[in-house]
């Protein structure tokens, strides 16, 4: 009885604290660190504007000036982003100063060679995401100290995002060291957007992890990020994709700075929703013993094995060692989930939380994907003279948009919940994946900038 009363009192105290917080003005709730962060962002933005304004057109100046209040709002909205952005800025500036205007120093300066050059930082990102995936799954199956293990996994994801952003910022600088006509924001090819996809998906997951105070979903979300990292590493070796290339004429536009990030917020949150949907179905079928009823697991196996099946051919015509190892790891993951599904289900949050995360992820992704589609149409009108040309990428982007528009319509108008919603969200990952990478593999068109 005392425990129940204590819990009830704590709930009432928290509710009272929340009510008091809501009655306090928005700016009055800011801490001294919030204001220091805002001051640093304004100072950095104005410094960049005064130094590089002569090299920008009016649209790029507008983007830079609009980014200042946007970054401040993001940091105030979710305070962990403040530390992330300040650390990334510090590491990026350290790399810039270490280069001293010469790319050759990337092979001679210790910090650049092993940590802060773009390729080194992205390789660190890859390793840290793999490590985080392992720790999350150990946390799921651990009988003791699971919270501590999952906390380590969460911290590894934060460090991985830090290295991904640092690598992206440094790569941006490195492109200008190659030449003023080569320099561009690094979101122009498959290598660069895969990095973007990885850290964006991870960042959105960490936000939901903090909001719902559960880390068990990390084991599922990190699977799709690790799969993306697996492709990224293969693509780096086979295509030497990490080498910075000049932009094709159609991509030399300020529209790219807006269209691509908005697009990949959509891709990232759709992938996040799909993995949450997968967790929902695993929890639902935890006690199922009939193999044909365990369809989510077989689907995961197909998805995880998709990459080695498609990219399996080595120069000699057989399965490359890389994809053979990847295939084996994928099989072990599926087998582990199959055998341990009851324990996994017990660690997962409630169906209501899973359903809510799924819905919010799709809602955010749909909003940004809609913005990206509109921006893409405007960019197409400027580059090619028409808003829409039924190019394969455009067509599949429309299919993705219609799929999630229908999902949200059924959710809001018809109360779509549960198993059907989860299966639909999971199937949406296949549609999104084909729009993201399948079009580049099997189709050609105006958007074929990252062929395989």
pLDDT at residue number 412: 94
Q: 100: how many CB neighbours lie within 10 A of its CB?
A: 8
237-260: average pLDDT: 85
Q: How do residues 322-372 score in pLDDT, each as one tens digit? A: 667 777 777 777 778 777 888 999 999 999 999 999 999 999 999 999 999
* Domain membership flag for residue 102: no
CA separation for the pair 217, 226 (Å, rounded): 14
Q: How do residues 287-308 score in pLDDT, each as one tens digit? A: 665 665 566 666 666 655 555 5
pLDDT at residue number 71: 96
Q: How do residues 33-64 score in pLDDT, each as one tens digit? A: 999 999 999 999 999 999 999 888 898 899 99
- pLDDT exceeds 90 at position 448: no
* Domain membership flag for residue 293: yes
CA separation for the pair 24, 34 (Å, rounded): 16
Largest CA distance in the chain: 72
CA separation for the pair 416, 421 (Å, rounded): 6
Instruction: Please classify residue 195 by burial: count the beta carbons closer than 10 Å to its beta carbon, then call 0-12 exposed, 13-18 middle and 19+ buried.
Output: buried
Number of domains, the chain: 1
CA separation for the pair 283, 278 (Å, rounded): 9
Residue 427 backbone zone (phi > 0: left; psi -120 to 50: alpha; other: beta): alpha
- pLDDT exceeds 60 at position 4: no
- 312 falls in which pLDDT band (50, 70, 90)? low
pTM for the model stands at: 0.90
- pLDDT exceeds 50 at position 7: no
* Domain membership flag for residue 365: yes
pLDDT at residue number 128: 98
- Whole-Å CA distances, 104 to 76, 109, 175: 39, 9, 13
- pLDDT exceeds 80 at position 383: no
Length of the chain: 452
* Containing structural domain, residue 435: 189-452
CA separation for the pair 99, 265 (Å, rounded): 31
pLDDT at residue number 225: 96
* Domain membership flag for residue 288: yes
Q: Which residue has the higher pLDDT, 101 or 323?
A: 101
* Domain membership flag for residue 254: yes
- pLDDT exceeds 70 at position 15: no
Which two three-digit tokens encode residue 359?
Answer: 């819905």
* Domain membership flag for residue 32: no
- pLDDT exceeds 90 at position 249: no
- pLDDT exceeds 80 at position 194: yes
**Which residues, 6 or more positions from 303, have their beta carbon under 8 angstroms from its beta carbon?**
227, 429, 430
- 229 falls in which pLDDT band (50, 70, 90)? very high
**Residue carrying structure tokens 């080595």:** 314
* Domain membership flag for residue 382: yes
* Domain membership flag for residue 271: yes
């Amino acid at each position: 009885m005392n425990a129940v009363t204590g819990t009830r009192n704590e709930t009432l105290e928290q509710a009272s604290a929340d009510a008091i917080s809501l009655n306090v003005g928005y700016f009055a709730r800011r801490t001294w660190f919030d204001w220091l962060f805002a001051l640093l962002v304004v100072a950095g933005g104005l410094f960049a504007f005064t130094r590089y304004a002569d090299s920008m057109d009016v649209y790029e100046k507008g983007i830079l000036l609009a980014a200042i209040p946007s970054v401040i709002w993001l940091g105030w909205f979710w305070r962990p982003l403040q530390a992330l952005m300040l650390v990334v800025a510090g590491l990026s500036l350290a790399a810039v100063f270490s280069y001293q205007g010469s790319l050759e120093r990337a092979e001679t300066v210790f910090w650049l060679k092993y940590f802060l050059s773009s390729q080194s930082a992205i390789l660190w990102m890859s390793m840290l995401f793999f490590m985080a995936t392992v720790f999350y799954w150990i946390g799921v199956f651990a009988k003791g100290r699971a919270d501590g293990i999952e906390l380590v996994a969460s911290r590894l994801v934060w460090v991985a995002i830090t290295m991904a952003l640092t690598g992206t910022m440094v790569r941006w600088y490195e492109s200008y060291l190659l030449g003023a006509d080569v320099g561009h924001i690094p979101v122009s090819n498959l290598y660069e957007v895969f990095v973007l996809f990885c850290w964006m998906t991870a960042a959105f997951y960490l936000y939901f992890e903090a909001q719902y105070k559960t880390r068990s979903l990390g084991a599922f979300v990190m699977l799709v990020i690790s799969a993306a990292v697996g492709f990224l590493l293969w693509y780096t070796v086979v295509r030497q994709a990490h080498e910075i290339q000049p932009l094709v004429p159609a991509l030399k536009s300020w529209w790219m700075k807006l269209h691509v990030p908005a697009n990949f917020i959509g891709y990232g949150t759709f992938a996040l929703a799909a993995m949450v949907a997968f967790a929902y179905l695993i929890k639902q079928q935890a006690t199922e013993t009939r193999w044909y009823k365990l369809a989510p697991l077989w689907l995961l196996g197909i998805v995880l094995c998709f990459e080695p099946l498609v990219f399996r051919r080595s120069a000699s015509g057989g399965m490359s060692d890389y994809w053979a190892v990847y295939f084996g790891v994928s099989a072990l993951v599926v087998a582990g989930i199959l055998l341990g599904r009851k324990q996994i289900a017990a660690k997962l949050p409630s169906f209501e939380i899973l359903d809510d995360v799924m819905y919010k992820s799709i809602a955010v992704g749909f909003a940004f994907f809609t913005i990206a589609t509109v921006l893409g149409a405007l960019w197409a009108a400027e580059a090619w003279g028409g808003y829409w040309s039924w190019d394969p990428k455009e067509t599949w982007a429309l299919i993705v948009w219609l799929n999630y528009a229908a999902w949200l319509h059924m959710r809001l108008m018809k109360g779509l919940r549960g198993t059907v919603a989860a299966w639909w969200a999971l199937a949406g990952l296949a549609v999104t994946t084909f729009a993201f990478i399948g079009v580049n593999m099997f189709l050609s068109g105006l958007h074929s900038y990252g062929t395989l």
